[in-house]
Chains A and B, each alone.
Chain A
């Protein structure tokens, strides 16, 4: 429990864009991830906010291949239509 909570807290960012996407990912995907993917996700969270948003919104590609697969999953979290 505590590890997932720690990761969840590390999804708290300075940019609202990331707060929204990352918390969506935590709710929908993280629980079912294999250990290696969880490690990769934690690595992804080490990126500075602006760089991370560029990666998530597919305006940049990562140089670090370790995060490549997990990034695809983050990008794939279904965009949410505004309620209403």
Chain B
């Protein structure tokens, strides 16, 4: 059929923090690398990260990677793999210092060391008291990281394919991954990227929720491609919610607002957090506040005509405090809620923020999928890192600043694994199957030929509403059950989307339809696994199973698209060198 084939040693899909860090490792080893990205690299979602990146440098007080490891295991509610967590925490200092050498403008102490500040859940001496572990570059950590890594890649001649969208994985009869099909947005041309190694760094799928802090681009493309290729995705029921996203827009309102005295109120004006957390009240931990808000809404005390949000009230504060100590908040509120917080409260709702699950990998960044009784069997030629991957270091709940660390450590590790694996391979890549591009072409042909279908935006909205209403921060048994039916119904509609404009050149309608194909796979996995897991652990909070159940559920869920099936993998409780961090109740 004459589909052009471009051949590389390695193809990286995604140019956010994880993709750029991986590509750098590959290009420095003199491999021929192609990096595909939907948007210009420095416009990847990593740019939005402000808080910082964790590393136990101990620059302002004593710290140790083992303490960081303890916090991460505890934060994960023991669902994280302890070998991967040890690996990440041990490597943290190295990758952060490397980044410093790449020119990352970290904030500094007076003596010139990297300045560190405290962040929720990071403690010293095995959970004793808060420790300063977050390294930041003002409130632009992600931005600075992307720029430093991008410049470095340019120096070593990494080849970027900007505004190219990967469509599907190519696998051979033995299951090895041989590359991807991709579409150039400018021309609509479809092409095969053949490679010995394919590395996914496509970021998260936060757009599956109606209320999301994620940019439009986070449609879980890597998850969709992986699922369609017959491989499992792991632990998707664990989605982290931030309590205060602006209702209807999703923009994150920092905890600092409540720190300065802002309070949450329900429809009758009641300061309801007094009932849920009599001591900490509005400053209780993220998950406690989010669940209280969800309960108020579920029990009919939400605000607005749909009773589907609560109010964050700052109007009792001195306007000077709002202007001086909470810069940017007033702009965000006026811009996205049409409310001036000096006079009226900000409508807020628990908002999807981070996907803990993803493509299962081991701590070397190699993708795994159970085969012949081996739960950790490697998928040849396939690697993943960053938010799209599940190493699993975050388990059931991620600690702030651990995600930028994750993408540095596992981006690099996955890159190193590719370099090592390629050395052992023959010079020329494996032959492509004859029908390598047929699946993608058939998907495109379906879309172009669809008649009497539905608009992409309509179906996307139905998907996001179903996830928000049925699989939100607090999960109720009846809602989950209906939710599975609903999302499967939405999936049927996704298969019949229609685009009016069929032109080849920069057809954003087509791109959005293809993104929706991916988002729906991630959404199905999330809903089905949430309905399957009969316990509460980390971000999965079930009304009918309020406790963690280690006897039955200390295991990873694996969702397969075929048959909408759920399987399981054991959690790696054994670290690399230290003793297992024993199961305990997670209390702070």
- Known contacts A14-B215, A50-B143, A57-B331; is-contact A20 B48 (Cβ 8 Å): no
Bound-state CA distance A83–B249 (Å) is: 9
Bound-state CA distance A48–B328 (Å) is: 18
- Known contacts A14-B217, A15-B215; is-contact A84 B308 (Cβ 8 Å): yes
Number of residues in A with C-beta < 8 Å to the partner? 29
Number of residues in B with C-beta < 8 Å to the partner? 51
- Known contacts A14-B46, A15-B48, A17-B332; is-contact A80 B338 (Cβ 8 Å): yes
Provide the residues of chain A in CB contact with B331, threshold 8 Å: 57-59
Chain A 34-84 interface residues, beta-carbon cutoff 8 Å to B: 48-50, 57-59, 79-84
Bound-state CA distance A9–B43 (Å) is: 12
- Known contacts A12-B43, A15-B215, A57-B335; is-contact A82 B38 (Cβ 8 Å): no
Distance between A35 CB and nearest chain B CB, rounded to angstroms: 18
Q: Is B126 an interface residue (CB 8 A)?
A: no
Bound-state CA distance A2–B504 (Å) is: 9
- Known contacts A21-B335, A57-B328, A80-B336; is-contact A14 B44 (Cβ 8 Å): yes
Encode B326-339 as 1/0 by CB contact (under 8 A) with A: 01100110111111
By beta carbon, the residue of chain A nearest B38 is A12
Are B336 and A9 neighbours in the complex by a CB distance under 8 Å?
no
Provide the residues of chain B in CB contact with A32, threshold 8 Å: none
Bound-state CA distance A8–B509 (Å) is: 11
Decide if the interface of chain B is mainly helix, strand, loop or mixed: loop
Bound-state CA distance A13–B347 (Å) is: 24
By beta carbon, the residue of chain B nearest A6 is B506
Provide the residues of chain B in CB contact with A20, threshold 8 Å: 249, 251, 336
Encode B301-323 as 1/0 by CB contact (under 8 A) with A: 00011101100000000000000
Are B248 and A83 neighbours in the complex by a CB distance under 8 Å?
yes
Are B506 and A19 neighbours in the complex by a CB distance under 8 Å?
no
By beta carbon, the residue of chain A nearest B334 is A79
Are A12 and B216 neighbours in the complex by a CB distance under 8 Å?
yes
Are B508 and A5 neighbours in the complex by a CB distance under 8 Å?
yes
By beta carbon, the residue of chain B nearest A54 is B328
Q: Is B420 an interface residue (CB 8 A)?
A: no
Provide the residues of chain A in CB contact with B309, threshold 8 Å: 82, 84
Q: Is B85 an interface residue (CB 8 A)?
A: no
Closest 9 CB pairs of A and B: A81-B338, A82-B248, A14-B47, A2-B505, A84-B304, A5-B506, A57-B331, A19-B216, A6-B506
Sample (9) of A-B pairs whose CB atoms are under 8 Å apart = A2-B503, A8-B508, A14-B215, A15-B47, A20-B336, A79-B336, A82-B246, A82-B336, A84-B306
